[in-house]
Amino acid sequence: MRLQAAEAEFDRFRSTAEVFWRNNVLPNDDADTWILVEALHQDIRVSLRNLTVANALRRVFPAKLAVFTGTDEDWYAALWSDFDVSRVRELAEAYGADAVIDVHGLIDKRVAAGVDVPPTFQVGDREVAVGTAPSRIDPGQLDHIVRATACRVLRVPRLSDADLDGEAYARVRSRSAEFSRVYDAIVHTLRPAALVTSHVDYNHWGLAVESAMRLDVPVLHVQSTGSLKAYALFPEHATADRSFRACLTTLIGDYFDKHVWDNRELIRRSAELVAWRAKGNLGRPSWWRAGSSASMDLGNAVERAQLRLHGVDRLGFDRDKPVVAVFNHAVSDALNTNVETFDDLAGWFEETAAYARTRTDANWLFLDHPSQALYDVSGFFEGIAERYAGARHMVFRPSRALSKNMLWSMADLGVTVRGSVSNELPAYGIPAIQAGWSEWSACGLSNVAADQADYWRLLDTALRGLVRGERLVTDEQVERARLWHWFYRAGNDVASPVVPHWDVGAGDQLLRVVRVAMTGMETDGDPVFAATRRMWERREPFLTRLDLTELEAGQL
């Protein structure tokens, strides 16, 4: 666990949390209900959020807590800098865990045992038998998760023949198969009321979600941003042939139309305030840009036009042609976990660049991901840039090479698969095309391709419109985008004293803030408990700061 706190500060926090939660959840001595909680991330803010949501549920119904944690050499090499399993265990126990499972350690032992693998293992006082679950993961889905995980830990956009024959892929494959069997056994044996997790992708997170969904267990996906944000997928809202993210996209769109768009007259003023704040937002999902370059403070069309001329001249573009900005993704990240029109993120980028080569009626600006090195060691972006080095109407740049002011001034159209720019750009009057689904893509703010043919149609139509000087974004799309910003950053972001804002950081200050809150508050004054109860009892797809189903003037 990444935790820079002094030992004494952590111990004080742990002692306070233990007393606080012991007295603020329902007694579970006789309970046979469990909640599964994931603690597979090194950042304490992530585990703290998951544990808080789980304990908020334990104020709704009595339940025992089973926390699974750990890491392996592949994930440590790809992502982590300091993962302390013993600290995670101490944190989980302070939050009232009845069982803490080093699931990576368990998988290591079971894989190493080979044909002599034990048929059972312990979770607290429960014996869990492997192989007794009524259903198993579809082999094709397991293969997909193996490939996505291997791409992520190898940090490559797609697997080569050498990768497929390599030790890392073989290790990911054998461990993933065992992860699926172990998660199936845990879910089948404990029959948990919920799975609380920070991620829904890859083998150690995603296979737990797969087991939960197949065995009709609600999944709560807690977000790593803002105050406290969580999405929920209940079994009755799931679609068998769709992923967690795909199901959630549809649910969010339906809820947005019914309770946000229909209340736009009440929300509009607050939405405008959030849109103003978002101009300099440093949190997620606008985390693709940071520091002073994250601020966007253009005030009017004249300022934008002046900066636009400077920008296009600086890049060598034709002043009289529109600028299409194409945003490369973290090309190994969560491949195909939602609906996408191309086989992978790299294929989309390659084919879009090939298309751009033939469309000299526009300037094309291709930007890499700001954390490219964390997701790609293959030189993918640089290779595409070199391939089209002779095309003067195509420019490839690191995303951090341009300020937000510069980019927003030049871009006449944004193109992405699922990037956050597809909700940011429309909020400021710039149209966006998506070649895949995101959380917000059913909310009516961007143009989402139904398939590859539709993607090329959307691009062609947009380019023709830009050349003719047409306005491609509607007033409704602009307002929907601004309402989404309010919804994401305020409406379903629950402020809680026991969950400091993400920007507080992960060190001593975080622990002191939580400790002070726990020693100086009554739980009936913490909105996270009311929000969690409302979400759970109404089976809503997320936490909300206030009751959006009965919104009244004066509440915002």
Give the total residue count for the chain.
556
Task: Note whether residue 290 is domain-resident.
Answer: yes
Quick one: 89 and 200 in the same domain? Answer: yes
* Position 1 pLDDT exceeds 60: no
* DSSP structural state of residue 203: I
Q: Does residue 210 lie within any of the structural domains? A: yes
230-270 tens-digit pLDDT: 999 999 999 988 999 999 999 999 999 999 999 999 998 88
Residues 12 and 76 placed together within one structural domain of the fold:
yes
Q: What is the pTM of this model?
A: 0.94
17 and 149 part of one domain: yes
Residue 231 near residue 223 (C-beta atoms within 8 A) = yes
Q: Rounded to the nearest 5 degrees, what angle is found at the Cα of 99, between the Cα atoms of 94 and 103?
A: 110
pLDDT for res 103: 96
Q: 304 and 195 share a domain?
A: no
Residue 272 lies in a domain: no
Range of the domain at 137: 7-256+501-550
Look up residue 111 and give its amino acid.
V
User: Which residues are 413's β-sheet partners?
Assistant: 324
* Residue 435 within a domain: yes
Q: How confident is the model at residue 287 (pLDDT cuts 50, 70, 90)?
A: very low
Same domain, 313 and 449: yes
Residue 274 located in a structural domain = no
Residue 218 contacts residue 235 (beta carbons within 8 Å): yes
Same domain? 46 vs 18: yes
Which CATH number characterizes residue 392's domain?
A: 3.40.50.2000
460 lies in a domain? yes
- Torsion 510-511-512-513 (CA) sign: positive
Task: Indicate if the pLDDT at residue 278 is higher than 70.
Answer: no
CA distances from 194 to 198, 213, 406 (A): 13, 10, 45
- Please give the distance of CA 378 from its chain centroid, rounded to a whole number: 24
User: Is residue 348 a part of any domain in this protein?
Assistant: yes
**Average confidence (pLDDT) over 31-37:** 94
Total domain count for the chain? 2
pLDDT score, position 463: 98
pLDDT of residue 170 exceeding 70, the answer is yes
Same domain, 483 and 505: no
Find the mean pLDDT for residues 16-28: 94
Do 317 and 211 share a domain, yes or no?
Answer: no
Question: How far is the C-alpha of 459 from the C-alpha of 463, rounded, in Å?
Answer: 6
- Let me know whether 241 and 106 are in one domain: yes
Highest mean pLDDT among 5-9, 252-256, 509-513: 252-256
In this structure, are 284 and 431 located in the same domain?
Answer: yes
Instruction: Say yes or no to pLDDT of 282 above 50.
Output: no
Residues 508 and 481 both lie in one domain: no
Give the residue-averaged pLDDT of 182-200.
97
391-415: pLDDT as tens digits: 999 999 998 888 888 888 999 999 9
Q: Is 387 a member of any domain? A: yes
pLDDT of residue 372: 82
- Same domain (yes/no): 285, 377: yes
Q: What are phi and psi of 200, to 5 degrees?
A: -125, 15
Task: State in Å, rounded, how far the first CA of the chain is from the last one.
Answer: 38
